[in-house]
Amino acid sequence: MTEPDLASRCGICGLDAAPVLLQQCFRCSTRFHLNPTNRAGIDCGDAVLGSVPGMEFGVEYYCTPCIGALNDEIVEATAAQARLDAVERRPGWRA
Ligand SMILES: [Zn+2]
Ligand SMILES: [Zn+2]
C-alpha cells in the first residue's frame, strides 16, 4: 500500500502536480489539487469536515465536480424527506 512517489497529475484540471499537493476524492477516487492552507495555488476540490465516527480528524476530501454532485444529492434527499414527512403526517397513516 505505498503510493508511487512520483509526480502525478490532477484528475480535474489535468495539470501535473507533486503528489503532496494531491488528495484523493472520497467519492470518485480522483486525485485532485487540494490546497488545505488556502495559500496561493491551485485548488480543484475542497476539504469537508465530516462527522463519521472513528475517522481520524473527520475530514473528507471531495473534488469540485463531486462537491457539486453532493450538493445536488443533498437537495434531492431533502426534497424526498419532505415528501415522506408530508405522507407520514397524514392522519391514520401510522395507525
Ligand atoms: Zn487540479
Ligand atoms: Zn470526486
User: Mind listing the pLDDT tens digit of every residue in the chain (95 residues)?
Assistant: 555 544 589 999 999 888 888 999 999 999 999 986 766 678 999 988 876 566 566 788 999 999 999 999 989 999 999 999 998 887 776 65
Query: What are 15's three cell numbers?
Result: 495539470
The Å distance, Cα 34 to ligand 1 centre, comes to 8
* Residue 58: per-residue pLDDT: 77
* Residue 24: per-residue pLDDT: 93
Reported pTM: 0.68
* Residue 5: per-residue pLDDT: 46
Rounded alpha-carbon distances, angstroms, from residue 8 to 30, 35, 64: 12, 15, 18
Closest ligand to the CA of 46:
2
Q: What's phi and psi for 22, nearest 5 deg?
A: -105, 145
Which residues, chain by chain, have CB under 5 Å from ion ligand 1?
Answer: 10, 12-13, 33, 44
Distance CA 68, CA 65 (A): 5
Distance CA 92, CA 77 (A): 25
